Amino acid sequence: MKLKEYLLDNISLIVFYILLMTFITAVIYLDPTVKVWTNNILYLNIAAFFLFCVYLLGTYLLRKRYYTQIVRAIQVEKEAIYSLPAAHNYEQKLVRKLLNKIYDEQNSKIEKIYAEKKDNFEFISAWIHEIKTPIAVSNLLIENNRGQESDDLLNSMQQEVDRIDRLVEQVLYYSKIGDFSKDYFVHDLGLEALVNQVIKKHAGTFIHKSIRIEMDSTDMEVSSDKKWLLFMLDQIISNALKYTHQGGIIKIHAEKDEREKRLIITDNGIGIRPEDIDRVFDRGFTGYNGREFTKSTGMGLYLARRLARKLGHDISIDSVYREYTRITIRFPKLGDYYTGCRGDGSLDT
């Protein structure tokens, strides 16, 4: 810090000193009751000016040392916050405390970004690995049955293509979930029509595995976003189909009370082990079923619950291993919906 810069920073103090000494000199000189020689007044001003200059020079040297240490802290390669000089006054203590707070907040944000980047990388890696399987199976089916027409072949091909479609949808919705507030529109939707649309999409699997579907009391309207709710239903029903045995049954019904409406999807498939039930909505968790019976990215239910909560809904699950799995989507009444949502219409997850 140069002396010129320091004087400019303290110009108000210098002006105050000049005005103060002018006032004191005028009072002494003009007061008829006070008899002071002109030389004494001059001596008083010179002495005061000298002391004031000593004060300015002293504080300049102290601050110059402090600012020099700050400049060095900025220039060093290691984190500057650890190279800051010790605070000598209240102002410097406040500035240091503020810098520490900013540093901690930025560190937390950076750590969060790194964690999300790592999670995204792991998911994309797993997704790429998973999508290679249906592509390879499709190519193998085509090569082994080239020139032949077979319903079994077409059904197998359709299943693999559907699996590719679900995986592509997962990564698409996963990429959009961070910017959710720009891509949703909540309005009244008929549950029955939406459920039928998802069932029609999976009709081939229902027929191929001879799985029956039973629907009851689904003629009900809920407030949600059509696209995102369809994706949630697709993830849940595809999971039910995946883990339901040949000739099984999937039941879908709706109910309501004074607080909420509920859509309940129950299958009589392999169920979920007790040690896995509390983790099925965790990102990337596949559990025993995902490892033993079919390959899984562990993202379907995670995305479904996260999207549900952003829309002001919720998803819960209960299951008995080797007996059934029941998933409930809860739609709060309109007043509770707006109470539970943030300003952008989404909940914290």
Domain annotation covers residue 101: no
Q: Last residue of some domain: 85, 102, 134?
A: 85
- pLDDT greater than 50 at residue 342: no
| 196 and 78 within one domain | no
Q: Last residue of some domain: 68, 85, 102?
A: 85
| 124 and 8 within one domain | no
- pLDDT greater than 80 at residue 258: yes
| More confident call, 270 vs 32 | 270
- pLDDT greater than 80 at residue 134: no
Sequence letter at residue 49: F
Select the highest-mean-pLDDT range: 6-20, 22-36, 90-104, 169-183: 6-20
Domain annotation covers residue 247: yes
pLDDT reported for residue 63: 78
- pLDDT greater than 90 at residue 210: yes
Domain annotation covers residue 23: yes
Domain annotation covers residue 347: no
How many structural domains are present in the chain? 2
Q: Which domain holds residue 185?
A: 110-340
Helix/strand/coil (H/E/C) assignment for every residue in the chain: CCHHHHHHHCHHHHHHHHHHHHHHHHHHHHCCCCCCCHHHHHHHHHHHHHHHHHHHHHHHHHHHHHHHHHHHHHHCCCCHHHHCCCCCCHHHHHHHHHHHHHHHHHHHHHHHHHHHHHHHHHHHHHHHHHHHHHHHHHHHHHHHCCCCCCHHHHHHHHHHHHHHHHHHHHHHHHHHHHHHHHCCCCEEEEHHHHHHHHHHHCHHHHHHCCCEEEEECCCCEEEECHHHHHHHHHHHHHHHHHCCCCCCEEEEEEEECCCEEEEEEEECCCCCCCCCHHHCCCCCCCHHHHHHCCCCCCCHHHHHHHHHHHCCCEEEEEEECCCEEEEEEEEECHHHHHHHCCCCCCCCC
Tens of pLDDT along 316-328? 999 999 999 999 9
pLDDT reported for residue 299: 80
pLDDT reported for residue 139: 66
Q: What is the average pLDDT score of the chain?
A: 80
pLDDT reported for residue 163: 74
- pLDDT greater than 90 at residue 267: yes
| 211 and 122 within one domain | yes
Q: Last residue of some domain: 29, 51, 85?
A: 85
- pTM of the prediction? 0.57
| 213 and 154 within one domain | yes
| 325 and 257 within one domain | yes
pLDDT reported for residue 181: 60
> Which CATH number goes with the domain that contains 322?
3.30.565.10
| 202 and 59 within one domain | no
Domain annotation covers residue 103: no
Q: Among 6-15, 39-48, 168-177, 220-229, whose mean pLDDT is lowest?
A: 168-177
Domain annotation covers residue 105: no
pLDDT reported for residue 240: 92
Average pLDDT over residues 187-209: 91
pLDDT band for position 237 (cuts 50, 70, 90): very high
| 159 and 43 within one domain | no
- pLDDT greater than 50 at residue 345: no
| 159 and 42 within one domain | no
Tens of pLDDT along 214-228? 999 889 999 999 988
| 55 and 159 within one domain | no
pLDDT band for position 184 (cuts 50, 70, 90): confident
| 130 and 80 within one domain | no
- pLDDT greater than 50 at residue 347: no
| 183 and 71 within one domain | no
Average pLDDT over residues 286-293: 64
- pLDDT greater than 80 at residue 178: no
Domain annotation covers residue 261: yes
- pLDDT greater than 70 at residue 343: no
- pLDDT greater than 80 at residue 147: no
| More confident call, 335 vs 87 | 87
Domain annotation covers residue 116: yes
- pLDDT greater than 80 at residue 138: no
Helix/strand/coil (H/E/C) assignment for every residue in 296-332: CCCCHHHHHHHHHHHCCCEEEEEEECCCEEEEEEEEE
Average pLDDT over residues 152-171: 72
| 135 and 205 within one domain | yes
Q: How far apart are CA 223 and CA 279, in angstroms?
A: 28
